[in-house]
Structure 1
Amino acid sequence: MVVDIWTVFWRDWIVLKRRLSRYILSRMISPMLYLVAFGWGLGKSIQVGQGSYLDFIVPGIVALNSMTISFNAVGTPLNMSRIYHKTLEEYLIAPIGAASFVIGKVLSGILRGLISSAVLIIMAYIFGANFSVNAWFILILILNCGIFAALALVAAMSLDTHEDMGNFNTYVLLPMSFLCATFFTPKQLPDAARFVIELLPLTHASQALRSSAADSGVAITSLFVMIGYLLVFLSIGIWQVKKIRE
């Protein structure tokens, strides 16, 4: 199984390696805009607790960026492969288990999310942000990338057009991008809205990254919630691949 997972992952790594420099450069644009706006613009003039708004917002931007990159790294290519290019059949007829295929794809999404996050973190330090990248921070970041890479696989195997994938981004990812503790704490929202938002995985990722970046540890609840989401999405993805093979 390990060899099969590595085979799926290695194929995606070869594709990425051929354009790695362009990929890294393209990943710098969005973080730079965020950091210019919130770092040079608002970040150092607004205090949040013991630090600046820049220090507060960087973990949220890391959570948001890793969500978006990991999702798009898996969802869009797989959906195109399944619907238009018909290359998914190459995997389905290969002697590779459904779990190996799903895990390999999710790992490739995690890798892209981590590369993009590393670029963002380096730029945040250059812009003067003050936060800690420790073992908890890296673990939460990997979990967040894995959750949304797995969700992307579920969406790509479920939705029948590229337009539907775009709608999924609009109705699911976009609201989470702004509401899930990325730019502000959900405490300011009405109780009903806060209850829903605090159930979402990106909220737990943002809060856990922020607390670990401040060397305050990580809430065990957030850790278990994220692991739960990851296992659920992986299980659904494996079931979907098995169903298509039948």
Structure 2
Amino acid sequence: MSFLTEVYAVAWSDIRFMRHNVRNILISSLMLPILYLLAFGYGLKAGDVEIEGQMIPYLDFVIPGIIALTSLSSSFSSTSTRMNVQRLYYRSFDEMMMCPLSNSAIIIGKTALGMCRSLLSCSLMFIIGYVLEPSYMNLTPLLVVSVLLACFTFSLLGETAALMVKSHQAMSTFSSLVITPMTFLCGTFFSVAALPEVLQGLLYALPLTEASVCIRAAALDVYAFPYWALGVLALFALAFYLIDLYLIKNRKI
């Protein structure tokens, strides 16, 4: 209970921030996924996509990919931007570090904003997908677990970026070098299995690929769920957590 109280104390201000800006957050979180849906889902007018021997209409294929992409963009941007402002401008993060709070509570608490925002955005995106393609989109327990883990992983990644960079310009560079390539290359808009094995290995080294694979398999529910990908995504979350813990413990912030 003491640990949960500390987590809540860290997350309280971010949750209040989201509560007072929920309309703007919803609009900004949904605009990009909807544009991707219109551009790739309807604009390309692609045919069926083969996954694990199953032929899937491209629109049904791309909607879970956009949900995975939403978990990345909403979690990362909200967590990294908020922490970056707190560290570099208000210096409130430094003040929080002087409070009698455990490092783990700080790390977990700072994921609250990213997780809440991305879960809300992913839920709305799933509802849109279900309205468009009710015969394919399924709300399953594995889908809930996959989305939760993806949101948590990318919130931790946002913390990692925010703790490492020294300026907003550096954060922009990080996004350009890491987030933008993941957006377009990690199986959100195409099947990674169609690429050469060397490229597949490179893309599976990025967490959004595993998130896309898990969310698509759970949402479509037409082929076996890749538990190995869920395990790899959990390892990414653990790795980001340990990096954050190292940065905070050694005050390299």
TM-score by length of 1: 0.93
Mapped to 1, the partners of 2:96 and 2:219 lie a distance apart of 40
SS in 2 for 1:244: coil
Mapped to 2, the partners of 1:143 and 1:192 lie a distance apart of 27
Stretch of structure 1 that moved more, 207-216 or 158-167: 207-216
Mapped to 2, the partners of 1:189 and 1:120 lie a distance apart of 27
After TM superposition, give the deviation of residue 33 of structure 1 in Å.
Answer: 1.4
- The number of residues matched between the two structures is 245
Q: 1:37-61 deviations in whole A, cap 9, x for unaligned?
A: 2343345x62224431110011111
Mapped pair 1:230 → 2:234: no
Mapped to 1, the partners of 2:160 and 2:175 lie a distance apart of 13
Aligned match of 1:208: 214
Mapped pair 1:155 → 2:161: yes
After TM superposition, give the deviation of residue 245 of structure 1 in Å.
Answer: 8.7
Aligned match of 2:113: 108
Matches within 5 A, 1:175-190: 175-190=181-196
Aligned match of 2:225: 218
Mapped pair 1:242 → 2:249: yes
Aligned match of 2:86: 81
Aligned residue identity for 2:128: M
Stretch of structure 1 that moved more, 129-138 or 223-232: 129-138
Mapped pair 1:28 → 2:39: no
Indicate conservation of the 8 Å contact 2:129/2:137, yes or no: no
Indicate conservation of the 8 Å contact 1:71/1:152, yes or no: yes
After TM superposition, give the deviation of residue 123 of structure 1 in Å.
Answer: 2.0
Aligned match of 2:42: 40
Unaligned runs of 5+ residues in structure 1 are none
Aligned residue identity for 1:160: K
Mapped to 2, the partners of 1:114 and 1:231 lie a distance apart of 20
Mapped to 2, the partners of 1:28 and 1:154 lie a distance apart of 24
Q: 1:10-33 deviations in whole A, cap 9, x for unaligned?
A: 221111001112221232212221
Indicate conservation of the 8 Å contact 1:69/1:116, yes or no: yes
After TM superposition, give the deviation of residue 79 of structure 1 in Å.
Answer: 1.6
After TM superposition, give the deviation of residue 190 of structure 1 in Å.
Answer: 3.0
After TM superposition, give the deviation of residue 217 of structure 1 in Å.
Answer: 4.4
Stretch of structure 1 that moved more, 46-55 or 87-96: 46-55
Among candidates 98, 117, 124, match of residue 119 of structure 1? 124
SS in 2 for 1:240: helix
SS in 2 for 1:28: helix
> Could you say what the CA RMSD is over the residues aligned between the two structures, in angstroms?
1.9
Aligned residue identity for 1:93: M
Mapped to 2, the partners of 1:88 and 1:39 lie a distance apart of 41
Unaligned runs of 5+ residues in structure 2 are none
After TM superposition, give the deviation of residue 108 of structure 1 in Å.
Answer: 2.5
